[in-house]
């Protein structure tokens, strides 16, 4: 088991939290919540050691399009990069749905 931490710059505050996924075989759980300062941080707990460079690639790509100041915690049980990207997108969508719900 390995823990990895990544920091990214952020442009806007995040106001809601979202939880998606499950720590099942080939899957992962994403907890997205507002960060305490104007910066994004990703904390990964993964069952598979030695893939830090792959995580960095997946997250670098994700943060080319995402600019929220979110604390994202990931509990991973051997998800492939594609599944990780889909779950991150799902978490962002769920958080945005929450923000829209709060405004209406």
Partner 1 sequence: MSSTNQVGPGALLRESFIELSARERAAAVLDAGTLRELLGPFDRIESPWLPLQGIVCQADDGAVIARGTIDGQPAVVAAIESAFQGGSIGEVSGSKIAAALELALADCERGKIVRPVILFETGGVRLQEANLGLAVIAEIQSAIVALRAHVPVVGVIAGMVGCFGGMSLAAALCSMLVMTKQGRLGMNGPEVIEQEAGIEELDSSDRRQVWQLIGGEQRTQTGFADALVDDAVDDVRTAVRAAFAQGMPHSHRSANVDATLARLAQIDPASVTPESMRAVFAASPTNLHGETA
Q: Which of 12, 56, 58 is nearest to 35 (CA)?
A: 12
Q: Which residues contact 36 (CB under 8 A, 6 or more apart)?
A: 71
Of the candidates 24, 57, 60, 97, which one interacts with partner 1 according to CB under 8 A? 24
Pairing of strands 12-13, 68-76: parallel
Complex with partner 1: residue 11 or 80, whichever CB lies closer: 80
Closest separation between CB of residue 65 and partner 1, Å? 25
Binding status of residue 52 toward partner 1 by CB under 8 A: no
Minimum CB separation of residue 64 from partner 1 in Å reads 27
């Amino acid at each position: 088991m390995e823990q990895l931490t990544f920091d990214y710059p952020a442009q806007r505050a995040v106001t809601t939290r979202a939880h998606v996924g499950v720590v099942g075989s080939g899957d992962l759980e994403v907890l997205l919540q507002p960060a305490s300062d104007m910066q994004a941080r990703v904390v990964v707990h993964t069952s598979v050691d030695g893939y830090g460079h792959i995580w960095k690639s997946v997250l670098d790509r994700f943060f080319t399009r995402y600019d929220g100041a979110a604390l994202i915690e990931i509990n991973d049980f051997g998800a492939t990069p594609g599944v990780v990207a889909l779950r991150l997108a799902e978490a962002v969508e769920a958080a945005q749905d929450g923000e829209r719900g709060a405004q209406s």
